[in-house]
């Protein structure tokens, strides 16, 4: 992780707040069942809540977003997209409940380059070429997976998923051997990405999995056996 973390930017806080305010006002004007003033005991309190959401997200982003991976100017990007992404994750009447889990949900929905953190349920999809000639697996892959609470199914965690979906248990990391036809054969599961990399290096000495996943952590669907 880069030790030089971005400091919270007042312009970005303003951009997030403006974007969220505008999206909420649109709903307030079109949804007859929504009255933001009543929900928040006045529009002045609603504005305070919007500012707290914007500040919370910017503080979180300062710790977790790899800004050098962005092609867009951060405040402009937030002004254009933050409000809609936020309301896709939480109702406008419950903004006072906005927390760090929602910060991650918003970041993933915006496809932001989240720094890899073992404490965050992040979608990982790392691929490395097998250095051993003649192997039935030309490549190996490590994916973030999760299992449903009833144990009936397992699936990849992707940017499109809710990382805190209560229907699933905690994410884990699966090592797959990838055949020439693209089919993924499950080899083993590990609790951490580092443990999955360690196993891959035992099976294929010299394989070049990075110690920290690169961004994007997940880029395409896989055919998994």
Q: Domain map of the chain by residue range?
A: 10-109, 125-224
pLDDT number for residue 128: 96
pLDDT number for residue 5: 58
CA distance 34 to 125: 41
Residues of the chain with pLDDT under 70: 1-6, 215-225
pLDDT number for residue 214: 77
Contact 69, 114 (CB under 8 A): no
pLDDT number for residue 14: 97
């Amino acid at each position: 992780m880069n030790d030089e973390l971005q400091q919270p930017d007042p312009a970005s806080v303003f951009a997030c707040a403006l974007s969220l305010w505008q999206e909420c006002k649109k709903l307030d004007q079109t949804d007859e069942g929504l009255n933001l003033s009543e929900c928040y005991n006045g529009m002045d309190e609603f504005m305070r809540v919007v500012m707290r959401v914007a500040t919370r997200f910017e503080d979180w982003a300062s710790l977790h977003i790899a800004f050098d991976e962005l092609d867009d100017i951060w405040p402009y990007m937030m002004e254009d997209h933050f409000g809609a992404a936020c309301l896709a994750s939480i109702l406008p009447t419950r903004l006072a409940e906005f927390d760090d889990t929602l910060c991650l949900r918003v970041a993933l929905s915006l496809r932001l380059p989240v720094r890899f953190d073992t404490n965050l349920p992040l979608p990982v999809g790392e691929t490395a070429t097998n250095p051993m000639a003649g192997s039935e697996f030309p490549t190996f892959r490590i994916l973030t997976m999760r299992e449903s609470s009833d144990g009936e199914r397992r699936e990849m965690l992707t940017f499109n998923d809710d990382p805190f979906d209560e229907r699933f248990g905690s994410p884990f990391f699966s090592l797959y051997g990838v055949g020439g036809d693209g089919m993924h054969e499950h080899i083993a599961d590990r609790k951490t990405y580092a443990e999955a990399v360690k196993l891959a290096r035992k099976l294929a000495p010299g394989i070049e999995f990075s110690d920290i996943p690169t961004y994007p952590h997940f880029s395409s669907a896989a055919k998994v056996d």
